[in-house]
Amino acid sequence: MNNSPFNKEIIDKKIKELRIADPGKASIRVIVALVNLVEEETGAKYVRMEMGVPGLPPARVGVEAEIEALKKGVAAIYPMVDGIKPLKEEASRFAKNFLNIDVSAKGCIPTVGSMQGTYAAFMAAANVKEGKDTTLFIDPGFPVQKQQMMVLGQKYETFDVFHFRGEKLRPKLEEYLSKGNICSIVYSSPNNPSWICFNEEELQVIGELADKYDLIIMEDLAYFGMDFRQDFSKPGEPPYQPTVAKYTDNYILFISSSKIFSYAGQRCALMIISDSLYKRDYPALQKRFGGTDFGSTITLRLLYALSSGTSHSGQYAMAAMLKAANEGHFNFIEDIKEYGEKAREMKRLFLENGFDIVYKNDLGKPIADGFYFTILYPGMTGNQLVANLLYYGVSAIALDNTGSNEEGIRACVSFVQREQFGDLEHRLKLFNAHFSGKD
Ligand SMILES: Cc1ncc(COP(=O)(O)O)c(C=O)c1O
């Protein structure tokens, strides 16, 4: 690594300081801490691909509504634990306009980020029936949800869906579901990190199996509408964001404001529970938490206990953003297309310098350009690649953090500035020259 543009001793010193046993295996937040320290000491900037920070300004309509709400004094008042009325109503309209599904305002519940939504949902789902206590993750996935499982002390199973797309999905899922212990299935689509997107046939399979085995589907739509191969941006007009909600009523959808509205800092998201799941009585759940129906258990038992609701002003921001999108004044998808364009450029730089894409295909078509992509360097494990790239000023996390069986890393495009593309190209050239033995 004699050609590496960063001082190896400083990086090694910081790795020791943070007591990181193997930087290749480090979690997102540990890589963030390490790179912050190295940047501070060297004064040099990394090409930071480890964390899904939006990287765009927050949606103005949200900021203005939030300021207005604060001026009116909402900060002094506890919000309703199941959300303010205007937000619930706009969320229900949004579900109709952009997913083409009917769900009452009652089932549209704000949460402190989707993180809190999944936390509460995991807790509820694992307690609806005795013996059904295990969550199935269709991986690769968002690593922090596994951490939530660990914190909750709940059981999960997982498989990498890469080799089980299309008609292979049903038998693979039934392998797990037929054992009878699975209470819920979790996935994101578009998928963090591979950016595969389930098609209608796959969602139909998932929906049918949810009914057959009576389990809850948790569909994480953190990247709502971001399969830029189609235009999902027109309210009330097809095409609509594909969703399992078309095929089953056993669903909870998670819509985060973090990425689609660049509103991550305010920690505001929506949990959308179908009408029939909301009002369902599960005796085991009632026994465990002392609540009534499923929806009220989520709001009045779990969310009440976790944070007693979601930021009051944040809810006004979210209500305004959804309203503007519903009325067609705010094309949120146009604003975030920049991610897809950056991904195309960044992939080209990696491909020109000896790297390859890991999850290359999406049901026979090239994977779309979006918020994340996955890359490998021949002959290197994902962990080795993360560790080696650190010395070349590029930070990322390894795919094994995400439940993937493939060797490679996850690249997040959002935080990388276009002005850094020159640095990225130069660093990848040096990396390739060294590891291909040409330097
Ligand atoms: C798939 C997925 N779900 C959930 C989240 C977290 O969303 P929030 O910021 O609303 O908690 C992320 C953030 O990166 C994500 O990638």
Q: Could you please report the per-residue DSSP string of 371-420?
A: SEEEEE-TT--HHHHHHHHHTTTEE-EEGGGGT--SS-EEEE-TT--GGG
Q: How far is the CA of 108 from the centre of ligand 1 (A)?
A: 18
Q: Which mutation among 28, 109, 116, 142 tests ligand 1's pocket best, with the greatest number of atoms within 8 A of CB?
A: 142
Q: How far is the CA of 114 from the centre of ligand 1 (A)?
A: 6
Residue nearest to atom 3 of ligand 1 (CA): 222
Closest ligand 1 atom to the C-alpha of 116? Answer: 11
- Separation between Cα atoms, residue 277 and residue 162, nearest integer Å: 30
Q: How far is the CA of 42 from the centre of ligand 1 (A)?
A: 31
Minimal CA–CA distance to 260: which of 172, 321, 328?
Answer: 321
330, 318 Cβ separation under 8 angstroms: no
Q: Which mutation among 119, 122, 192, 226 tests ligand 1's pocket best, with the greatest number of atoms within 8 A of CB?
A: 192
Q: How far is the CA of 378 from the centre of ligand 1 (A)?
A: 30
At 380 the pLDDT is: 97
How big is the CA angle at 247 (ends 328 and 267), to the nearest 5 degrees?
50
Q: How far is the CA of 110 from the centre of ligand 1 (A)?
A: 14
Pocket of ligand 1 (CB under 6 A): 52, 113-115, 142, 188, 192, 220, 222, 256, 258, 264, 269
251, 277 Cβ separation under 8 angstroms: yes
| Per-residue tens of pLDDT for the chain, all 439 residues | 778 888 899 999 999 999 999 988 888 889 999 999 999 999 999 999 998 888 789 999 999 999 999 999 999 999 999 999 999 999 999 999 999 999 999 999 999 999 999 999 999 999 999 999 999 999 999 999 999 999 999 999 999 999 999 999 999 999 999 999 999 999 999 999 999 999 999 999 999 999 999 999 999 999 999 999 999 999 999 999 999 999 999 999 999 999 999 999 999 999 999 999 999 999 999 999 999 999 999 999 999 999 999 999 999 999 999 999 999 999 999 989 999 999 999 999 999 999 999 999 999 999 999 999 999 999 999 999 999 999 999 999 999 989 999 999 999 999 999 999 999 999 999 999 999 987 7
At 219 the pLDDT is: 98
Q: How far is the CA of 6 from the centre of ligand 1 (A)?
A: 31
Closest ligand 1 atom to the C-alpha of 264? Answer: 9
Question: SS3 for 312?
Answer: helix
Tokens for 61? Answer: 């309509």
- Separation between Cα atoms, residue 295 and residue 108, nearest integer Å: 10
Closest ligand 1 atom to the C-alpha of 257? Answer: 10
- Show the domains of the chain with their CATH numbers: 8-56+336-435 (3.90.1150.100), 60-326 (3.40.640.10)
Minimal CA–CA distance to 373: which of 422, 340, 415, 418?
Answer: 340
Beta strands, E only, 174-301: 182-188, 216-220, 251-256, 269-273
Q: How far is the CA of 247 from the centre of ligand 1 (A)?
A: 24
Q: Which mutation among 145, 256, 310 tests ligand 1's pocket best, with the greatest number of atoms within 8 A of CB?
A: 256
Q: How far is the CA of 62 from the centre of ligand 1 (A)?
A: 19
At 113 the pLDDT is: 98
- Cβ atoms < 10 Å from Cβ of 58: 18
Q: Which mutation among 138, 258, 270 tests ligand 1's pocket best, with the greatest number of atoms within 8 A of CB?
A: 258
- Separation between Cα atoms, residue 349 and residue 359, nearest integer Å: 17
At 437 the pLDDT is: 81
At 53 the pLDDT is: 82
At 55 the pLDDT is: 78
Closest ligand 1 atom to the C-alpha of 142? Answer: 1
Closest ligand 1 atom to the C-alpha of 52? Answer: 14
Q: How far is the CA of 72 from the centre of ligand 1 (A)?
A: 30
Q: How far is the CA of 115 from the centre of ligand 1 (A)?
A: 6
Q: How far is the CA of 284 from the centre of ligand 1 (A)?
A: 29
At 227 the pLDDT is: 96
